[in-house]
Structure 1
Amino acid sequence: MKKITLQDIASHLNISKSTISTVLNGHGDEKRVSKETQEKIIQFAKESNYKANHLARGLSLGKSDMIGLVIPNIGDNYYARIARRIERKARLSGYNVVFSSTGEKQERESELIQSMLSRGVDGLIIASSQKNEEDILKLKKNNFPFVLIERCYPELETNFVGEDNEGGVSLAVKQLIQLGRKRIGFVSLKPGLEAMRMRLEGYQNTMEQRGLVVRDEFIHELEYEYSEDEMYEVVKSMVQFPTSVEGIVFATHFLAASGIRALKQLNIRVPMDVALISFGQMNAFDLIEPPVTAVVQPVDELGDRAVEILLENLEGKNLNHRKIILSNSLKIRKSCGAI
């Protein structure tokens, strides 16, 4: 049987494709399409089996069965894993996921949110640049269902699922201290993201609580789009006598990968000369020598909980804003000197 298209419906009913699309996406009333025309379009779509699975969920109620996902970088292993998990969880509940990347740009994030709204998504899951409070506030004021993940706006009460950034770094620092490392460095990204600020606090607080000196020369913050040469200079400065570090905690997995490359170029032995731990994992971390100790982020649970909260909102349940902070764990490998 030939697949029915919008053009087929338009030709048969002598109604424009744009009007048909508006009605089939549940915006007929909003666009002031007459009830008679809406009923005619919906009835023909049903009889023609046009997107039958979509109609079965209640086309006339204005559901698109689509969730929009806005993330910083789909090429980042961490966000790619979150996207896969969200897509899997949503699909099991009968929803498709439309997603795209912002590149940490506020303008791009705003464009994507507006684009997804115009496509009629039922709800949004957003890992924000934290520079786009205006659009987030609009969604909140309009009671549009959305969940923020990983990054939130502390001054706004919204649905949020994140991880314990401060506690995760604390696990890493404590592990190095337990193994006798006292001069511990920290490499992060420059302030702007709440997660980076909390990870820095986790490092500083844990060092101070254990009676260790937090030296300015042990803390380095790079731009989001740093170069390998910049990482090389940072690591070089941290391993130079007389203030050389005995351990380094990298605030992200991609910082850790660059740091490992720099240490190899400098002929610094891991973990004999410098132990290291990464906040976040990469698939290769258990394959390289030495395997890399890493703070394990709760990717699967984060994706699942975000979808669950959004679906509850879409179904009119638990409409109060929910904030969930998930715990991290530590996967110990040879790079910290424990094995």
Structure 2
Amino acid sequence: MAAVVGCEDLRRPGGYIVRVLAVAACYYAAGRLGLLRELSVEGAVVTPIYPPTGVAVAALLILGLPCWPGITLGALFVVLSLTGFRPDVLGTLFGNTAAPVCAVLLLRRAGFRSDLSRLRDGVALVFLAALAAMLISSTVGVGVLVLTDRLAAHSFWPVWLAWWVGDAMGVLLVTPLLLLLRQARWPPPLGRWKEATALAVVTCLLVPVAVYASISLLFLVYPLIIWAALRFQLVGGVLCALPTSVMATIAATDGAGAFAGLGRIEVMLKLQAFNGAMALTALLLSAVIIEQRNTRNSVEKACQELVEVLEHLTAGDAPPPRSHATDDGDDRPWPTGTS
């Protein structure tokens, strides 16, 4: 009853305002978190992972498209925390709002399920929400910078690529995590805590070595991603990929480990290739495993139902039990009412 009352309250004007402000606050907090690590590309400051895009897509999927003003408001606060208000800021706000809205519209058109239980859901999130829809924010944002002479025309493509990949990575890494947290069962089951603890320990020990080694050992991370996806599906894959991506981003912005001695463009390309491949591996492999598990469960359930139907039919066709049979082999029953 409490949950029903809460949902009814949120449909009222006051509840709508609360949702919009909550989306704006989460967007702003994620934006400030993403700006802690920056890369300078052709004089423009970009973030390798921009979490607000993932927050925006998840918020619209969970709370509905009418909450889009919260994205605009949160993006405005992020921009104002960096610079003053200028006319070109309106273009940036439009792009940052339109991209998540278009992502959700494309996902709905594709029949997306927020539980990510099918391979088509993972593919839709990757190619429609992350790669396709985020073209809007990057194109509009960088285009406005060029049109207002805040960025040289020859720098359009490098900055555009960094902007696009940063927004796409936010969707690939943050949106699945928020959707899973919404559907998680609390408290979680304790049956496989030992294996989960072992995976967490190995990840904490191996990832820093792979990222900060003087030689490139980033490939060592992929067996961990595969282990997490195989044994813990999407929850394990995302929870393993996200901290790994964050640690790689820290090393890249510091120019340390596998990213030492590289130029800014080379650092960006190497980091985004690593993050993108890792996120795709975790998301798509987990989706395939979940779909196969659901298919197996459906087949087992269908087989069980078939067995029950056959047992029922067999019991209905069986001849009735015989009684009062003679001992001389005559199977006819004794006549009734005679002496």
Of Structure 1 and Structure 2, the greater helix share is in 2
TM-score of the alignment, normalized to the shorter chain, above 0.5:
no
Q: Answer 1 or 2: which has greater strand percent.
A: 1
- TM-score (norm: length of structure 1): 0.27
Greater CA radius of gyration, 1 or 2? 2
